[in-house]
A and B are shown apart, each in its own frame.
Chain A
Amino acid sequence: MWDYSDKVKEHFFNPKNAGAVANANAVGEVGSISCGDALRLTLRVNEATEVIEDAGFQTFGCGSAIASSSVLTEIIKGMTLDEALKVTNNDIAAELDGLPPEKMHCSVMGREALQAAVANYRGEEWKDDHEEGALVCKCFAIDAVMIEEMVWANKLRTVQDVTNYTKAGGGCAACHEDIEAILEKVLKERGETFDPNAAPIEKPVLTTAKAPLTNLQRIKKIEEVLTSLRPQLMADGGDVELVEVIDNIAYVNMTGACSGCQMAAMTIAGIQQRLMEALGEFIRVVPASQMPSQLVNIREASHA
């Protein structure tokens, strides 16, 4: 059985806010394919203040899914929608005194249900922005999709590369066989062969800074890097614009010749590499077209 914290057990055995809220005006329904878990979150939002007055959950799922749902409703009651949208899955997990790595997706499901409910309230359609794969690295909770994306984006060649870029495999090392299998597959698709003794590619500077960057510092640094890259892009008739930064994802617009260019994906990978070197932390660069829709609306509203 899982090593659940007392908090998880408490919320599982005595769930708070179970059932649908009467007169709900926001509903979010999401599921996590990895566990077959699914959650319906219902909210009653005060239309004048946008404060969440009541929240209820209905969950088909395991102990930690039910506990995550329960604690989520407790966290967000009394918050405004904008405050609630800032709740991350890590906040949910932290409130439960942690979840086993295999169960972190339960907290992700909670955050997504919240986003979906807010989108529903605002008359928008919510789209999931991430794909979840089989858990490979249990020490740092890194899944196969994440590793595969990073191998593609950064032309990783060895297990050491993967560890440098994603942390996966940097703990107990038991997943190195699985990481090699991913490398073999991607390298084959790229027309190369996997060589376990290949020299690692140049390391990104992932030395953890003593104090993590504030979001403002992060945005400033990103802008600096983009400015330094701009001449090259403009030489090719294109440009890049920073749209939004959320956690460790930078959303950018590729414009001019870069827009729709077949090389856009490679350009984005290159920008990502430069940003990680400059920031000294992991960051993902994603086209703004893939930004969750309610965020687009927030941004448009704030620009208006």
Chain B
Amino acid sequence: MPDIYLDNNATTKVDRAVVDAMLPFFTEQFGNPSSIHRFADGVARAIKKARGQVQELLGAEHDSEIIFTSCGTESDSTAILSAIKAQPNRKEIITTTVEHPAILNLCEHLEKEGYTIHRMPVDKCGRLNLEAYRNLLSDQVAIVSVMWANNETGTIFPVVEMAEMAHAAGVMFHTDAVQAVGKIPMMLQDTKIDMLSLSGHKLHAPKGIGVLYLRRGTRFRPLLRGGHQERGRRAGTENTASIVGLGKACELAIEHMEFENTKVKAMRDRLERGIVEQIPHCFITGDLNNRLPNTTDIAFEYIEGEAILMLLNKAGIAASSGSACTSGSLEPSHVMRAMSIPYTAAHGTIRFSFSRYNTMSEVDEVLKVMPDIVASLRKLSPYWDGNGPVANPEEAFKPTYA
């Protein structure tokens, strides 16, 4: 069996149709879209078409609300830095403890510069407390930045409602939607969301292309100043081939939206049900009733995620983990810690994330190998004895920690 790719929240395969749409823009229509000659003739038109395709997927009111950037991180940084530059008297930012590092590390940096960062906690299922959120909103807040869907658990935040609340309080609202766009339908024109980040490579477009949605009328200060590209809101020569590719990918995402929420979801559901039924002492993390259709994050207790991934990789299966080791950081995933998942389980979390390219037979293959992988590592674990965890595992094994 060829290798199985279940790490689509990390990045996705570029769709063949996307590649085909891009190719002419490398060697034929390679002109600068700002030029007036036949090499650039179709380029500006192609970019306009792509802008319309993105607009349609997002349900934006105007195509001029779409600003092409280099990636999701650039969109996030542009949004937050724009909000604080445009409103220099507002010194507070509201976000959550489970955001992507693209938001969290920027906020940490701004904290050093004197900003107050409100990081809203989540409960054990990864949910926010909206009453606590309401109390944080004030005329001191420059921007609220809350992710649409969590990259690790797939848990969806009520961003539409939260944007309404921010709007009522006169506060700008940004959402990092890189995991949500293309997986769940959205109609931004019916919301109060002011800014939204998306990343091409999460929806079968290439890496190196992103979008900042900027609602018309939202006060804005560019991150990159220079040429007149993107109406002066993001200077720099357009990444034409990738913009065209992203447009095509958005068109395909609309076509596959139903498939994603039925067939892809069915694969995910079958995998997680099979794992939980076959393997003792594991559980699904996040808000089970309110998740992306393609994501499951399962904590295998008493073993460590990187070790699981290495054995999965040997079996030809690609997934990812929230363990500290896989990130090279000191702590297991901040998302797992925020949900108060104990260390012995947080280190053993494995995320399987699907795309429309996966099949049911791949799910069966994973279900075939997973029980043995978990069992073989538990055999090595000091928390495990024979067929179950040792009695009172946290008591029975109490290492001296450095």
Contact = CB atoms under 8 A, between A and B. Distances in A.
Q: Say if A and B assemble together.
A: yes
B25 interface: no
Interface in A19-46: 19, 29-40
A19 to B, nearest CB: 7
B328 A102 contact: yes
Interface stretch (A130-138, A149-157, A265-273): A130-138
B313 A59 contact: no
A103 B304 CA distance: 15
Given A36-B324, A58-B381, A30 B402 contact: yes
Contact of B382 (A40, A62, A135): A40
Given A31-B400, A37-B304, A102-B328, A60 B313 contact: no
A60 B401 contact: no
Contacts of B331: 36
Interface residues of A, number: 44
Given A29-B397, A60-B302, A60-B382, A131 B402 contact: yes
A112 to B, nearest CB: 7
Contact of B343 (A32, A36, A59): A36
Contacts of A61: 304, 307, 325
A30 B399 contact: yes
Contacts of A58: 380-382
B402 A65 contact: no
B148 interface: no
B37 interface: no
Interface string A114-137: 001000000000111011101100
B373 to A, nearest CB: 12
A280 interface: no
B399 A29 contact: yes
A66 B380 contact: yes
A38 B307 CA distance: 13
B379 interface: yes
Contact of B323 (A13, A62, A128): A62
B312 to A, nearest CB: 11
Contacts of B303: 60
B402 A35 contact: no
A35 B382 contact: no
B347 interface: yes
Interface string B379-390: 111110000000
Contact of B306 (A63, A126, A132): A63
A206 interface: no
A36 B381 contact: no
Nearest to A131: B402
B328 A59 contact: no
B324 A35 contact: yes
B201 to A, nearest CB: 19
B402 A36 contact: no
A103 B397 CA distance: 23
A31 B381 contact: no
B400 A126 contact: yes
A33 B332 contact: no
Given A36-B347, A102-B328, A132 B402 contact: yes
Contacts of A165: none
A290 B149 CA distance: 49
Nearest to B313: A1
A38 B382 contact: yes
Interface in B214-263: none
A12 interface: yes
Contact of B304 (A1, A62, A108, A116): A62
Contacts of A12: 307, 310
A15 interface: yes
The 8 closest A-B pairs by CB, nearest first: A62-B325, A62-B306, A31-B399, A58-B382, A29-B399, A40-B382, A38-B399, A31-B401
6 contacts: A31-B402, A33-B402, A58-B380, A60-B383, A105-B402, A130-B402
